[in-house]
Structure 1
Amino acid sequence: MLTKKQLDLLEFIHRRLKADGVPPSFDEMKIALDLRSKSGIHRLITALEERGFIRRLAHRARAIEILRLPESLGGSADSATSHGFKPEVLNGGRASAPAAAPSASVTTASTPAVLELPVMGRIAAGVPIEAINQVSHQIAIPQAMLSSAGHHYALEVRGDSMIDAGINDGDIVVIRETDTADDGDIVVALVQNEEATLKRIFRRDGAIALEAENPAYETRTYPEDQVQIQGRLVGLIRSY
């Protein structure tokens, strides 16, 4: 039997995996469950893993797979799901420009559906770099990674400021195009209409705080009118 907090966390992870194809970060879990520290999330994750509801995938940051759901969430004792976050091995790319709609999906009897997304450029996971403004090439993305609504595009990460969120230099991030985000979301932010960066966003006292996931980088705060949200992180692909 799960406690209420364990059930709430499992439901939150399941909901995010279904919507975005990527599990939430520990910070997002902490905010969703209104906990004061990540240590409480670690305990809940461990309890869910010990009870056989989830599995943490070794050597993959922020990778959680749901193995089964309780009946209250639509599962059964022997049910299992396949919404775990599993990065695909794809070549990283360079790029940059206005987002283009994905092309038609490609399927065969033996391969899953994929979509061609534009790689829009390199995004800074560090200090901001020049704004993205030109598409360089397309990249094939598993359709299951994409949320059902909105246009998507891909970016190549440069820098290490988001490593504690499992985002490394050279990774390809999949972004859903949107101009809104909740506190704690990882977003593409256009700063002062000329620099783009990948950061976690928070609203504080009428300003926008762009927060890194690496203690070596300071949080940068700007007036609201100097930050435009260009999209929200929904997936990640890593080359090995």
Structure 2
Amino acid sequence: MLTRKQMELLEFIQKRMAKDGVPPSFDEMKDALDLRSKSGIHRLITALEERGFIRRLAHRARAIEIVKLPEALEAKGARTGFAPKVIEGDKTDPPRGAMTIEAAGALELPVMGRIAAGVPIEAISEVSHHVAVPGSMVSGRSEHYALEVKGDSMIEAGINDGDVVVIRSQGTADNGDIVVALVEGHEATLKRFYRRNGMIALEAANPAYETRLLRDDQVKVQGRLVGLIRSY
């Protein structure tokens, strides 16, 4: 039996992973549950892990895998786990809950070079190679492409240097979306997107990086994160 707070946290993690393909940061969990400090989140995470609902992935900052959901969340039609949005690269035996490419029906996406998860780098628009991803990750008619991550500014969102992110091409974003943002027409970066007091905030998931505040005309959204391929 889960406590109310444990249930709220598990549902929040599940919804964020279904939406973004990556787990929320501890700060986002704290704010969502209206807790005063991250220590309360640590206790809830530990309790969920001890009860077998989640698993923390070794050597991954804030990386969490949902192992199962309680019946109350299953009844809501909740999706069980991180698998539909993340595939594991360079591993013989993926962890339980991870979807293999073969199991999902592979599609090839162009890898359009590297994207900075740190200081913005010059935008790259040429295809360097292709990568196979599960068809479920790119469902629908929208165009998709992939980018290799360079840097550690999104590490608390479970996005590491060398990972490949899958992006749905779109020109708009909602607050909290992880997006590919083109800054002043020539720099591309991967950040969380927010509108604040008439400005655009590009927020890192690493306290070592400051949030960038830019005018609306300085930022062009080029796509939203829908999944990632973990690199080992």
TM-score (norm 2): 0.78
Distance apart, 1:147 and its partner CA = 5.7
Distance apart, 1:111 and its partner CA = 4.3
Go from structure 1 to structure 2 and tell me whether the alpha carbon gap of 1:121 and 1:36 turns closer, same or farther (over 3 Å shift): farther
Partner of 1:7: 7
Q: How many residues align?
A: 219
Contact 2:68/2:80 (8 A) holds in 1? yes
Partners of 1:147 and 1:16 in 2: CA distance = 18
Distance apart, 1:189 and its partner CA = 0.7
Distance apart, 1:161 and its partner CA = 2.5
Contact 1:57/1:64 (8 A) holds in 2? yes
Contact 1:22/1:145 (8 A) holds in 2? no
1:130 aligns with 2:117: no
1:189 aligns with 2:189: no
Deviates more, 1:170-179 or 1:34-43: 34-43
Go from structure 1 to structure 2 and tell me whether the alpha carbon gap of 1:177 and 1:40 turns closer, same or farther (over 3 Å shift): farther
Identity rate of aligned residues, in percent? 72
Contact 2:22/2:157 (8 A) holds in 1? no
Partners of 1:146 and 1:24 in 2: CA distance = 21
The root-mean-square deviation of aligned C-alpha atoms, in Å, is: 2.9
Structure 2 counterpart of 1:161, which letter?
S
Structure 2 counterpart of 1:59, which letter?
H
| Matching residue within 203, 214, 224 for 2:216 | 224
1:169 aligns with 2:161: yes
Contact 2:154/2:206 (8 A) holds in 1? yes
Partner of 2:110: 118
Partner of 2:63: 63
Partner of 1:74: 74
Go from structure 1 to structure 2 and tell me whether the alpha carbon gap of 1:216 and 1:160 turns closer, same or farther (over 3 Å shift): same
Structure number with the higher helix fraction is 2
Contact 1:28/1:184 (8 A) holds in 2? no
Partner of 1:215: 207
Give 3-state SS (helix, strand or coil) of 2:65's partner.
strand
TM-score (norm 1): 0.76
Partners of 1:118 and 1:140 in 2: CA distance = 9
Partners of 2:138 and 2:28 in 1: CA distance = 19
1:140 aligns with 2:126: no
Distance apart, 1:63 and its partner CA = 3.0
Distance apart, 1:62 and its partner CA = 3.6
